[in-house]
Amino acid sequence: MSQLRRAPRRQVDGVLLFDKPTGMTSNAALQKARWLFNAAKAGHTGTLDPMATGLLPLCFGEATKFAGALLDANKSYRATLKLGVTTDTADADGNALLTRPVVVDTEMWRVALNDFRGEIQQIPPMYSALKRDGRPLYEYARAGVELERQARPVTIHRLELVSFSGDEAVIEVDCSKGTYVRTLAADLGEKLGCGAHLIALRRTRIGDLNVTDSLSLAQLEALPPEARDTRLAPVDALLKTLPAAQLTAAEAERITHGQALCWQGKGEGAQWRLYAPQGQFLGLGELSADGWLKPRRLLTFDPTLTVPHFDKVCGT
C-alpha cells in the first residue's frame, strides 16, 4: 500500500507571533510551525527556555533575513517565584540547594524591588548558553564545574510586584537584552533573606510585539491550512521601531541594485526601513556617518532590471 507523500515545501514569507507552550523547546516550536505551514525556510528570533511560555516570533522565508533585529529589543515578562528555596539552576528544573524560612512583608518587597530597578550588574548563570572556550556554560555546569563569570550591566526598566501570598510571588519585569529573569529571581530572594527560584515565566512583549496578538499551538492547528497564511504578520513586522524611508522609483531601483543613496539632511538613525513608492517593503538600509544610505539586507528582487549610473559624491 503506497504512502501519501507530503507536498513539496513552499515559499512562505512572513512572521508568526507564536505563543509557546511550556515544556517545548524553541527549536521544536519552530519545526512544528514550519511543518504546519509546509514552509521551505524558517527561523526564530532568539530562544525561550523550555519551561517558559509566551511570545516567540517565528520567521518564514524572506522574514528570516531580519530575525536578528529583535535580539537587541527590550522584553517584558511575568514571573512566578517560589520563596524559601534556592536551586542550582535558579529555576524549578534544578536541584534544591538550600531551604530557609520565609519571613517577608510588603516593606521588604518595596526595598528589594527598588534596589533592582535601573541599570544593575548581573552575573550570568552557569546554566546558560553563554560560551567559554567554545563551549556553552551549561556543559561545564552539568559536569560539575563552576567557572568564574564577569558581572554584566543590564537595565531593568520596570519591576513590579503583582501578588504575594505565603511563599509565592508574581512579578512583572521590563528589561534590556541579556537579562536573565531567573537570576533576577534568585537575587531578589537573597535580598529578601530567604532565597528564591523561578517556577513559571511568561514572555509578554518583545519590542512593540505583544503576546496578545499571538497564536497558541492549538489555535494554529485548528486553522484550516489555507487560512494559516492570513495570520502571518508582514516581513517588516520585526522592524517597526526603525525609521521608514519612502523612496522614489529611481532611488528604489538604485537600492535594489546595491547602490547607495545620498541621504544628507533627511533624518537621523543608523538603520532604516526602505519602501518603494507603492509601499512595497524593500529591506533594510544603513546610514553612514558621511550621509550615504546603503543597502544592508534586501528582499530578493529580479536581477535583470537595469539601473542608471550615478556619481557617488554626496552633496553634489
Each residue's pLDDT tens digit, 203-212: 999 999 999 9
Structure-block grid coordinates of residue 244: 521608514
- Catalytic option among 49, 91, 187, 236: 49
Q: What is the pLDDT at residue 310?
A: 40
The answer, yes or no, to whether residue 99 has pLDDT greater than 50, is yes
Specify whether 13 is catalytic. no
In this predicted model, what pLDDT tens digit does every residue of 261-310 receive, in sequence order? 998 767 667 889 999 999 999 999 999 888 899 999 999 865 444 444 44
First-last CA distance in the chain:
73
CA dist 311 and 51 (Å) reads: 56
Residue 3 has pLDDT above 60, yes or no: no
pLDDT at 18 over 50: yes
What is the mean predicted confidence (pLDDT) over 64-89? 93
CA distance 63 to 135: 29
pLDDT at residue number 311: 41
- Its pTM surpasses 0.85: yes
Whole-angstrom CA distances from 279 to 179, 206, 231, 246, 248 are 36, 25, 20, 8, 11
Please count the other Cβ atoms lying within 10 Å of the Cβ belonging to residue 200. Answer: 17
Structure-derived torsion over alpha carbons of residues 134, 135, 136, 137, reported in degrees to the nearest 10: -110
3-class secondary-structure state, position 255: helix
CB 215 within 8 A of CB 29: no
In tens, the pLDDT along 148-202 reads 788 899 999 999 999 999 999 999 999 999 999 999 999 999 999 999 999 999 9
Q: List domains and CATH numbers for the chain.
A: 14-73+208-237 (3.30.2350.10), 75-206 (3.30.2350.10), 242-298 (2.30.130.10)
The C-alpha cell 537575587 sits at 187
What are the pLDDT digits (tens) for 219-251?
999 999 989 999 999 999 999 888 899 999 999
Question: Can you state the angle between helices 181-192 and 106-115, rounded to 10 degrees?
Answer: 130
